[in-house]
């Protein structure tokens, strides 16, 4: 054979190396990239039977990872242990194997039925940082023509290029696994923080709320959460999202009362570049951000009638246009809205669109104020103290006197007022124990959102014991409250429901008072 064949083969190898490098730089899908490399070697380099095996980090043997021309079901189970067959020889010795005629090698196994025994065979190690990571095996499509050494060098160069791709693939897989683990950890943390565990209470009203959340979470129904400030409307919205099929999707929140109308439209619908002063680039709105997930709009009752019409279109049609744009954007969003306002009165007054009201009020949820579930107060207080204790890095607890003092207040500001009260007491506590003298309650006021009947009730009697100045002795205030409850019970013939009406309480509230004040109920 004349030597002029070597330069021709060398030029062909340079061309193939360039094409292989292009293939390796196109995608991070390692297996698909390897198949494309093997296909390129066969078409342009006359090197068929391409196979790549990769070291299994757990078992330590070689597994077939990619083969050109065979279905994946055929080669996935094939493995080679150290020293097993020609491929196993490389795992054992870490050196390239070149065989002029494959049939002359007694250790050849031909497990895939892919290779011709009358043709040469080349297998080169794929190394990353000096460590064996796999093997590249190919077979020239013609008998040995005396240029096997040149072809071996070329195959080794391709194996080195693949090694760099393996390094990148390993780094990407490691980062992907790390990100997936971190994501799953965050999801578990968020579910725990915003799931049912954060909604505290075992009273009948709260049990009904839990049942409603479980039922409505399964469906993409619009939910309207209505209740006084501080009753946990946002916690309910969180629980609905994180227990729904959309929990893996985005969860976007916005307080409608915090923005003027012009900014609210841009914030919800987005805007195009140049649509107004300061719009230096296009921007997605909250609806687009929440596509495939949930959008929680707090204080929905505060938006203007003009903006209500724009919001209604999105809810009805599932589409919007950005501010300054003409392109219609389709969105798939589950809406949860919340308000403390009387929407029926707003509709009557013409301040809230009736059609939007019916669109929002598909599934209303009404969290009860704290004064209507006082039996939950001890559990709520413990939950809040655990959270405050985590912030202060110390255990916090309430004395029995402090618990009685908390029970003597109607909490017009609901759980938010209770949390502020406990946080203030925790700050003042030197040893983490909160006694009655640290429970300082703000001046009583009418609770927002009460009906006329509730507001007219003699709630002052219910709150009087809590109005004792912090400097007064706690037992005296407790005895005063005890006398009032006993007097009402005696006047009502020890019928608790009648006594509750006399005191302006609910039956549950007076039952809780009887328990906390250790009043022995008489049977008449």
The two tokens of residue 48 are 């068929």
Domain that holds residue 24: 5-174
- Residue 190: inside a domain, yes or no? no
- b (16+ CB within 10 A) / e for 144-180: eeebbeebbebbbbbbebbbebbeebeeeeeeeeeee
Torsion from C-alpha of 313, 316, 320, 324, nearest 10 degrees: 0
Examine the fold and report which residue of 174, 203, 234 is the final residue of a domain before the chain moves on: 174
Is the domain of 16 the same as that of 165? yes
Is the domain of 228 the same as that of 307? yes
Is the domain of 137 the same as that of 219? no
Instruction: Give the up-direction half-sphere exposure of residue 199: CA atoms within 13 A in the CB hemisphere.
Output: 29
Residues present in the chain in total: 524
Is the domain of 345 the same as that of 211? yes
We report the CATH number of the domain holding residue 76 as 3.30.450.40
- Rounded Cα distance between 423 and 417, Å, is 10
Q: Within 10 Å of residue 262's Cβ, how many Cβ atoms?
A: 11
Is the domain of 316 the same as that of 426? no
- b (16+ CB within 10 A) / e for 59-89: eebbbbbbbbeeeeeebeebbbeeebbbbbb
- Rounded Cα distance between 509 and 497, Å, is 10
- Backbone dihedral region for residue 444 (phi beyond 0: left; psi -120 to 50: alpha; all else: beta): beta
Is the domain of 361 the same as that of 375? no
Per the CB < 8 A criterion, the answer to whether 245 and 218 are in contact is yes
Examine the fold and report which residue of 365, 395, 411 is the final residue of a domain before the chain moves on: 365
We report the CATH number of the domain holding residue 495 as 1.10.8.60
Is the domain of 205 the same as that of 152? no
The two tokens of residue 436 are 């009655």
Per the CB < 8 A criterion, the answer to whether 80 and 51 are in contact is no
Torsion from C-alpha of 277, 281, 285, 286, nearest 10 degrees: -110
Contacts of 9 (CB under 8 A, 6+ apart): 147, 150, 151
- Rounded Cα distance between 232 and 416, Å, is 8
Contacts of 368 (CB under 8 A, 6+ apart): 203, 205, 206, 209, 227, 231
Q: What is the pTM (predicted TM-score) of this model?
A: 0.57
* Mean pLDDT by groups of 10 residues along the chain of 524 residues: 65 79 74 84 86 84 82 67 88 89 89 88 88 90 87 90 78 78 71 68 90 93 93 92 91 90 87 79 91 95 90 91 88 95 91 93 93 92 93 93 90 92 93 92 54 33 32 47 84 82 81 80 66
Q: What is the pLDDT of residue 470?
A: 32
Nearest to 241 by CA among 189, 190, 180, 299: 190
The two tokens of residue 25 are 């730089």
Is the domain of 212 the same as that of 93? no
Contacts of 459 (CB under 8 A, 6+ apart): 410, 444, 504
The two tokens of residue 200 are 């505290």
- Rounded Cα distance between 291 and 276, Å, is 25
- Residue 521: inside a domain, yes or no? no
We report the CATH number of the domain holding residue 252 as 3.40.50.300
- Rounded Cα distance between 335 and 332, Å, is 10
How many domains does the chain contain in total?
Answer: 3
Is the domain of 359 the same as that of 377? no
Instruction: Give the up-direction half-sphere exposure of residue 452: CA atoms within 13 A in the CB hemisphere.
Output: 0
- Residue 292: inside a domain, yes or no? yes
Name the one residue in this structure whose structure tokens are 């075992």.
202
- Residue 283: inside a domain, yes or no? yes
Distance of CA 338 to the CA centre of its chain: 21
Q: What is the pLDDT of residue 13?
A: 78
Q: What is the pLDDT of residue 301?
A: 92
Strands 397-398 and 79-80: unpaired
- Rounded Cα distance between 444 and 447, Å, is 9
Burial of 469 (0-12, 13-18, 19+ CB in 10 A): exposed
- Residue 46: inside a domain, yes or no? yes
Q: What is the pLDDT of residue 435?
A: 93
Contacts of 236 (CB under 8 A, 6+ apart): 199, 209, 213, 225, 365, 367
Examine the fold and report which residue of 321, 336, 365 is the final residue of a domain before the chain moves on: 365
- Backbone dihedral region for residue 318 (phi beyond 0: left; psi -120 to 50: alpha; all else: beta): left
Q: What is the pLDDT of residue 446?
A: 46
- Rounded Cα distance between 233 and 224, Å, is 10
- Residue 185: inside a domain, yes or no? no
Is the domain of 111 the same as that of 129? yes
Is the domain of 267 the same as that of 343? yes
Helix axes 377-392, 400-407, angle to 10 degrees: 120
- Residue 183: inside a domain, yes or no? no
The two tokens of residue 340 are 């403390």
- What is the Rg, in whole angstroms, of the alpha carbon atoms belonging to the chain? 37
- Residue 334: inside a domain, yes or no? yes
H helical segments located in 292-368: 305-317, 343-349, 354-360
3-class SS string, 378-407: HHHHHHHHHHHHHHHCCCCEECHHHHHHHH
Contacts of 151 (CB under 8 A, 6+ apart): 9, 47, 120, 122, 140
- Rounded Cα distance between 103 and 447, Å, is 94
Q: What is the pLDDT of residue 392?
A: 93
Is the domain of 20 the same as that of 169? yes
Name the one residue in this structure whose structure tokens are 């009860």.
368
Per the CB < 8 A criterion, the answer to whether 332 and 292 are in contact is yes
Identify the H or E element spanning 133. strand 131-140
- Rounded Cα distance between 115 and 427, Å, is 79
């Amino acid at each position: 054979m004349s030597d002029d064949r070597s330069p021709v083969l060398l030029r062909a190898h340079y061309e193939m190396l360039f094409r292989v490098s292009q293939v390796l730089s196109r995608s991070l899908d390692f297996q698909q990239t390897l198949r494309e490399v093997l296909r390129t070697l066969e078409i342009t380099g006359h090197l068929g039977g391409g196979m790549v095996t990769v070291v299994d980090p757990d078992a330590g043997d070689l597994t077939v990872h990619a083969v050109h021309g065979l279905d994946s079901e055929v080669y996935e189970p094939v493995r080679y242990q150290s020293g097993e067959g020609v491929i196993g020889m490389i795992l054992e010795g870490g050196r390239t194997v070149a065989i002029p005629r494959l049939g002359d090698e007694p250790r050849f196994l031909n497990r895939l039925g892919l290779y011709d025994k009358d043709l040469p065979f080349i297998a080169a190690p794929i190394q990353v940082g000096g460590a064996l990571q796999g093997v590249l095996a190919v077979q020239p499509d013609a008998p040995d023509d005396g240029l096997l050494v040149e072809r071996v060098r070329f195959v080794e160069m391709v194996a080195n290029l693949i090694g760099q791709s393996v390094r990148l693939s390993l780094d990407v897989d490691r980062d992907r696994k790390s990100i997936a683990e971190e994501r799953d950890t965050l999801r578990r943390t968020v579910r725990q923080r915003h799931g049912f565990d954060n909604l505290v209470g075992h009273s009948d009203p709260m049990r009904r709320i839990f049942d409603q959340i479980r039922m409505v979470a399964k469906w993409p129904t619009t939910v309207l959460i209505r209740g006084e400030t501080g009753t946990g409307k946002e916690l309910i919205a969180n629980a609905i999202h994180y227990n729904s099929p959309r929990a893996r999707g985005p969860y976007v929140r916005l307080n409608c009362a915090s923005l003027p109308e012009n900014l609210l439209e841009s914030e919800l619908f987005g805007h195009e570049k140049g649509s107004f002063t300061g719009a230096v680039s296009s921007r997605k709105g909250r609806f687009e951000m929440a596509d495939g997930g949930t959008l929680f709009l707090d204080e929905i009752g505060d938006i203007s009638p003009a903006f209500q019409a724009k919001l209604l279109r999105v809810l009805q049609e599932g589409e919007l246009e950005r501010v300054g744009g003409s392109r219609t954007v389709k969105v798939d969003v589950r809406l949860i809205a919340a308000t403390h306002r009387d929407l029926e009165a707003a509709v009557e007054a013409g301040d809230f669109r009736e059609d939007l009201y019916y669109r929002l009020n598909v599934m209303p949820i009404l969290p009860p104020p704290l004064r209507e579930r006082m039996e939950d107060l001890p559990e709520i207080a413990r939950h809040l103290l655990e959270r405050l204790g985590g912030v202060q890095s110390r255990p916090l607890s309430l004395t029995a006197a402090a618990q009685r003092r908390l029970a003597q207040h109607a909490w017009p500001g609901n759980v938010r007022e209770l949390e502020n009260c406990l946080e203030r007491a925790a700050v003042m506590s030197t040893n983490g124990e909160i006694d009655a003298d640290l429970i300082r309650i703000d001046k009583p006021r009418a609770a927002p959102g009460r009906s006329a009947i509730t507001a007219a009730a003699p709630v002052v009697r219910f709150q009087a014991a809590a109005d004792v100045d912090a400097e007064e002795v706690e037992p005296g205030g407790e005895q005063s409250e005890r006398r009032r409850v006993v007097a009402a019970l005696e006047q009502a013939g020890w019928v608790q429901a009648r006594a509750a009406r006399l005191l302006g309480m609910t039956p549950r509230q007076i039952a809780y008072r009887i328990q906390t004040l250790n009043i022995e109920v008489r049977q008449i």
